[in-house]
Chains A and B, each alone.
Chain A
Amino acid sequence: MATAILERQADPALEARGACHLSIQGVTKRFGTGAKEVHAFGPVELTIEAGSFVSLLGPSGCGKSTLLLMLAGLIPPTSGRIEIAGTPVTGVRTDVGIMFQDNTLVPWRTVRGNIALQLELRGLDPARHTRRIDELLAAVALTDFAGRYPYELSGGMQQRAAFCQTMVHAPPTVLLDEPLGKLDAMTRERVRRDLQELWMRSRPTVVLVTHSIEEAVQLSSQVCLITPRPGRVHETIPIDLPWPRDDEVKKSAAFAGYVNVIGDVFRAYGVM
């Protein structure tokens, strides 16, 4: 099945491009000017290996979502330099897939139409990528809901559809801004599994912003702990647990150990 997703139809725009290496060098972000200036973030040095799944974990307001927007080139850093795959980010990077906390499913299109929207906005013909869309829908168990409108879906189904929308153009870099933040606890578990499945199939570089320690440990190859504002990297912890991170792994002592170690860091900062 893993090859099924990688095996793209003959559109060079959707050719597998391999995951990208991300480099964040001395990046800071300040908002406002003069007395009202807020030092939101940084300076941060961070290297994210190609194909890894990195969580940016930190309290709200620490600037982790700001970093994600800077990675996508949607807002510029105040200082410092960001590189994706060796080229500096100077404006909007169309070679990433970005997903926001409030999903970008539009109410006037079905699930399939919403996934196609990503392609259409990029000037691609969705009719040439029906197999890719079908495979993504199958991967998140939404095949039977392809013709439904977002308002006909549960919150969890909407987020799973939104993952397909974010990844349909096979971006080598995927940026996720608290995609599970608004889901209830049980739905979250389910959608986490789907997200892990999608990542393991094609292994793009994923940067996930979250404030859930469990979520970060379960999904990530590295967890990057961000301090309270102005956000800096406290520590990057490699998560050495077997894949896939199923229920057995989650029940293991090692899993609980990671959760505790990370919890202690944030307790020391007084945010927990």
Chain B
Amino acid sequence: MPLPVRQAARLATFPAFLALLILLWQKAIDWLAIPAYILQKPSDIVINAWADLPRLMSYTGVTALETLLGYAAAIVLGVPIGLAIVFLPILRRTLYPLLVSLEMVPKIAFAPLFIAWLGFGLLPKMIIVFLVCFFPVVLNAIAGFSALSEELTRFAAATGAGFWRAFLKIRLPAALPQCFVGFKFAAVNATVGATIAEFIGSDQGLGFYIQVQTGNMRPDLAFAAIFLLTLLGLALFGAVTLVERLTIPWDIGQRRARQS
């Protein structure tokens, strides 16, 4: 096969595999005579979801807002708190062990409490998303900012550079790859937090919708919402990856060089 054709074939492998799986699902419903209240065909899911599109869209907006606000808060607070822990010894002996212990707590277990304390609105969901995102952000920021090699520490010291100059030119860029590991991990957690928070107590959002439609024996509509949640998670992860690519292109190149 000529090269471009072979490349195209390689690129098309996974989409073709996905299409095959969906086709199999479509056919299996008939073959196995699965009743509609258990599972429906992908084609019916699309048709039925289309009929309820306005509500699905507005609920996607609600869940997206909770996810984004909680995620943004985790980064805006997590990175500075991580920095403070790295550079203030008193926090390193107090706040840091506390965070490490709390990391073991399943954050989602707090969700019912927050709903009870703060009601059905946006704030408790945002806090729950914040909680599941905060720990990976702060712990990876701490790891990134404290892992500067002895050589680079001495190199900066030997030039006589002050704290801020050494921070901006060496410590900060050196820490960014590890920080992005945290950001990406948190991005994966974020939609999970929002969905579970909505399961527990809400009157709108995709998590709420899944619960209601499952109760109504409408797995087709539940699947539609799950698909939208997946898209939401992918969009957030993709956006963070894009920012990473723009911020630290050198690290991407370095990782690629190491792999090959």
Contact = CB atoms under 8 A, between A and B. Distances in A.
A121 to B, nearest CB: 4
Contact of A151 (B149, B174, B248, B258): B258
Most buried by A among B159, B165, B253, B258: B159
A98 B154 CA distance: 9
A122 B151 contact: no
A100 B151 contact: yes
Interface of B: 149, 151-152, 154-161, 165-166, 169-170, 173-174, 248, 250-251, 253-254, 257-258
A145 interface: no
Given A121-B166, A123-B165, A151-B254, A106 B159 contact: no
Nearest to B155: A104
A101 to B, nearest CB: 8
Given A149-B250, A151-B253, A152-B257, A74 B173 contact: no
A149 B254 contact: yes
A103 B159 CA distance: 15
Contacts, number: 65
Interface pairs A-B: 9 shortest CB-CB: A121-B159, A94-B160, A104-B155, A121-B161, A151-B254, A100-B151, A108-B250, A151-B257, A108-B173
Interface of A: 69, 72, 74, 92-94, 96, 98, 100, 102-104, 106-109, 117-118, 120-123, 149, 151-152
A94 B158 contact: yes
| A interface SS class | loop
Contacts of A74: 154, 157-158
Contacts of B161: 121-123
9 contacts: A74-B157, A74-B158, A92-B160, A98-B154, A103-B151, A104-B155, A107-B251, A108-B174, A149-B250
A122 B250 contact: no
Most buried by B among A93, A107, A109, A123: A107
Contacts of B149: 102
